Structures are given as structure tokens and as C-alpha cells.
Amino acid sequence: MVNDPKKQIRQRIFIIQILLVGCICLLGIKAFDVQIFDFHDLTKKAELSYSKDLIIKGERGQILDRYLNKLGTSIDAPTITANPSQILDPIGTATALSKILNIKPKALEDKLSKNRQFIMIARKVSPTQATQIKALGVQGIYLESDSKRFYPNRNLAAQVIGFTGKDDSGLEGLEFKYNAILEGGIVKIRVKRDGTGRVLDINKKRRIELKGNSIVLTIDKKIQFLSERTLEQTVKAQQAKSGIALVMKPSTGELLAIANYPGFNPNNFAAFNKNTYRNRALTDAFEPGSVIKVFTVAAALEKGFTPKSIFFCEKGKYRIGRFTIHDTHPREWLTLNQIIQFSSNIGTAKIAETIGKKALYNYLTDFGFGQKTFVGCPGETNGTLLAYERWSKIDASAISFGQGLSVSAIQLISGISAIANDGMLMKPMLIKKIISNTGKELQVFAPKQLRQVISPKTAAQIKTMMNMVVQKNGTGTKAAMKGYTVCGKTSTAQKASKLKSGYEKNKYVAAFAGFAPQKNPELAILVVIDEPTKQHYGGQVAAPAFKTILAQSFSYLNIAPEKTKAMIAAVIKGEEH
């Protein structure tokens, strides 16, 4: 039988048609399977290729002074990433980046040689580094938007503000205390990448929405600067160990300055000794010395004594049991006025004996000693003030003139401010308000009266005594300021030994606390100098610093001089114009 060629061709065509139809059916089935059954799995794979999950953290809120000047803020600090598959010269790129980022070239070369589409090179680089890297123009190197903490005023109020760590969480100071308020929100989002692996959209609007809240302080940037500068000059001139200066508004308790020296730069905190991080004004307790006498005399006035009540001061030596109390200058009879003016230890001890230890203890605690002020900074000390039941006779005498108890600088300025404020103790204020990232006031803090410790009459009498301290024959004449009635009290306290009982030889804390003007005090200031070596009396060391801070602050605040009797007399005589 002869094969028909045409028939064979038709059979082949038919077979091919069947195969083609079969293939089409198989492709259809596969397409249906891919598009219907495998749709979700394949979509996920595609998304993994062209998108990635990122943790977006909002910018940290700001720390501002009372006039909204930035004390702690955030600046752009891009994160450097790379797509190694796009980098043509890993060795050259690693060398160039290493010089800018201060990273070993070999470590970068290893990263850039990997068969990956995304690697992290460096987080939160400086604007200068970012500009230099961008200028290289290397394909496969990318700058992703990010921010880091920055303190524009460097050392200013560093111990108060504190600083943050690498993850932008607070480690010290207000940054630590109010971390939950300042910290930006966190959200996980998916962002798209192009074919090269570069992120197309990081959702900047979302980052702004996540920005943390800001804190407005009572601190005045200018007065803080004046205080820190004067404090530094004083510590250096006296070759002292350290110093503290506080400025407070007596009527409200607002702290306008909390100065510590030595300081540190929070932008580079790791380069400084950790002891400099400490906010000594709150964390350190010290024996206050003679400043405490004004509170002892205030207790006596409340108990019925008058400024002219007299006490015999034993010609400079007074024995209590096996202890002997000394005065710098031997005197016999002194009034309460003179006891403050001449800073008599014996006179103050006689007062304590007369009013009793319970009364002295109660007034000291009412003024806030022996307890935290809860001003809002971490690490605040209670100080030490034993219960009066545990006092011996010499304890009561010693405490009356500032030995045998310890206080913090914040307690001391608060007590002095209470006298300036007609006997009303205010809660110290450091936080003025909290505002949202849109500027909305979330919480506003008002001045808070704690208690009326002494009567306005007693406070006025103490003011007069404190004014006598800065006048002729007083211990604080170097704090007097022309045109203003200054009130103050000196202190020269020998430092208690840490290794044995008693006191260190030739180690002192020199202090001056006061306020002005006498009638309506605008500012209260405390200066404490630890271990001055050139001189050691409070009237010589701390009083001039007090005067400088007061004078410069009054000039800045435009507080006009008082029309005192002396000034009026001078004008009449034609001495002043």
C-alpha cells in the first residue's frame, strides 16, 4: 500500500494542532493557577523584591528656655546605606568612605563586596560628612533621611538638660527624666524601592506627625549664660574644686539659672569625665554653714523675740560640755540684728538653747530642709536633718549655725526665697509647660505656694538684718550694689571629713545667698564655691560673684535702681545726674 503524502501531512498538522491546543490548555491552567491560587504568595515575593519594611521613628521633641530659645533640639543626620550589587569599584569606594566616616577601609570593603542589595554603612552622620559623601557621586551609595540630637549652646545648662544615647533615648538630666514626653512615636511602615534597590518614599509627612512633644523651661538662656560665665571665672580665680550658682524669682519659685562648673559639652559627652555630668545643685549635699543662721533667727522672732533682743556672746569662746564654740571676732552683748550682721556662732547657739531644739527643727523642716523639693530633675538629694529627738545639746547648737546638717543648693535658694517672698515658701519651678509638635499647649504649670513658714512681719525683720550684712562692718560688703538695697548672708563652712570624724583642715565651702531689692525682691541668688584655695571666706569668695550675677541680670532685665535715701541725697548735692 502506497502512502499518500498529503494524508501524512494532514496527520502531522492534526498532531501539531493537538499539541498546541494542549500547550495552550496547560498554559491556561498554569496561568489560572498562578493568578488565582498562587496570587498572594507571588505578590508577597514581588513586594519583597521591590519594597521593604522600615521602622520610622519620629523626631525627638525640643527642650526650650522660657522664651522658646532652643537648648536641646534635633538636626538632620542622614543614614548611609548601599546596594553592593551596583558598586563597580568596592575597594576605591571603601577607601573614599573610610576617610570621611573614620571607618577602617577593610571593614567597608568586606561589606561592599557582598552579593546583596542593601547594607547599612553608618547611622546619623554629620551634615558635613553627608555633604562630602554626596559629592563623591558613587553609584549604589545612598543617603536616607534621619536625625540626631544637637545642643546648639554647647556647655550651657548641660547638667540640667543632659544628653541622649545613640538610639536617641535620654541618658542624663531632663533628657532622661522626661524621655517619655520628648521621645518621638514609632511605627513600622512598608516603603517602595526602585530597580536599583533605592528607597523611593520614606513618608516624611509621617515622620513629622510622629515628632515628640517639647518642654519649655523656666530657665532664661541669658541669665544662665551670665551665671555660668561668672561662676567659671570665680572658680578659676580662687583655684577651687567646683562651683554652683542658682538664680530664682522669689515670688514664683521659677529657676532662671542652674549653673555648675566644671561643665561638659553634651554634643561630645563621652570625651568628658562622668563626674561633670552631675547636677550638683540638686545631687550634692553640703553643710551650709552660716547661711542657716537667718532661719534660726527667724524661728526666734516667731517665738516672740525682737530684733533688739540681746544675747551674751562670751567674748568669742563658749564651752558646751567638752566642745568649745568660737567666733571669728570676740564680742560680748549682741542683738539679733548684730548676730546676723557679724555672723556670730555663739549668739546663734544661745538662740537655739533659748527656743529649744524642737522649735528649731520644726522651722528648718518648714523651710524645706531634710526633704526633696521635687523640682523635676533626676538624682535630687534629701540632705540630712536628723529628728530633734536624736540631737545632743551640742548638735542643736551646731545645727543652729550650719554644722551637723547638710542641704542641697536648691533647698537653700528656696529657703532664702521664702524670706524674700514675705515668708511664703514656693515650690521650685523648672518646667514651665509642655507643648505638642504643632505648638499646642498640652500642660501648663503654675507657681505653687507650699506654706507660710513665717509671718510677713518676721520676714521683713530678717530682710533688714540681711541688708545690714552688706553694709559697713558686715561680713558681706562685697555684695553691696549701688542703687539697690541688697540683702544677703555669708557662709564659710569647714568641710566634714569623709574618712574620720571631725572636719578637714584647710578645706572649706564658701557661699553667699541673698536677694534684691529689699522691698520687692526681683531675684534671689545663691553662689557656692567648693574648696577655694586663694581665699576661703564667703564674703571674699562668693559675695563678689553674687554681685556680678545680680548686676548683670538686673541690667539685662532692665530693673531700674531704687530711689534710696542715699541716692536722693546725692542728687540734691549734685553728685549724680
Distance CA 381, CA 270 (A): 25
Contact yes or no for 186/167 (Cβ under 8 A): no
Distance CA 96, CA 77 (A): 19
The torsion angles phi and psi of 381, rounded to 5 degrees, stand at -95, 155
Angle at alpha carbon of residue 500, lines to 494 and 504, rounded to 5°: 25
Distance CA 99, CA 56 (A): 29
Beta pairing partners, 481: 484
Question: Which grid coordinates belong to 415?
Answer: 529657703
Listed residue (192, 276, 201) closest to 232, CA to CA: 276
Contact yes or no for 168/183 (Cβ under 8 A): yes
Question: Which grid coordinates belong to 258?
Answer: 542652674
Q: What does 273-334 look like in DSSP terms, one character per residue?
A: -GGGGS-HHHH--B--GGGGHHHHHHHHHHTT--TT-EEE-GGGEEEETTEEEE-SS--SEE
Distance CA 290, CA 336 (A): 14
Longest dimension (CA), the chain: 157
Burial class of 20 by CB neighbour count within 10 A (0 to 12, 13 to 18, 19+): exposed
Burial class of 416 by CB neighbour count within 10 A (0 to 12, 13 to 18, 19+): buried
Contact yes or no for 244/231 (Cβ under 8 A): yes
Q: Is 147 a residue of the active site?
A: no
Q: Which of 214, 227, 242, 290 is catalytic?
A: 290
Distance CA 404, CA 296 (A): 14
Q: What does 56-90 look like in DSSP terms, one character per residue?
A: EEPPPPPEE-TT--EEEEEEE-PEEEE-GGG-S-H
Beta pairing partners, 431: 217
Q: What is the sign, positive or negative, of the torsion defined by CA atoms of 158, 161, 167, 171?
A: positive
Contact yes or no for 247/430 (Cβ under 8 A): no
Residues 6+ apart with CB under 8 A from 560: none
Distance CA 160, CA 394 (A): 38
Catalytic residues, by residue number, are: 290
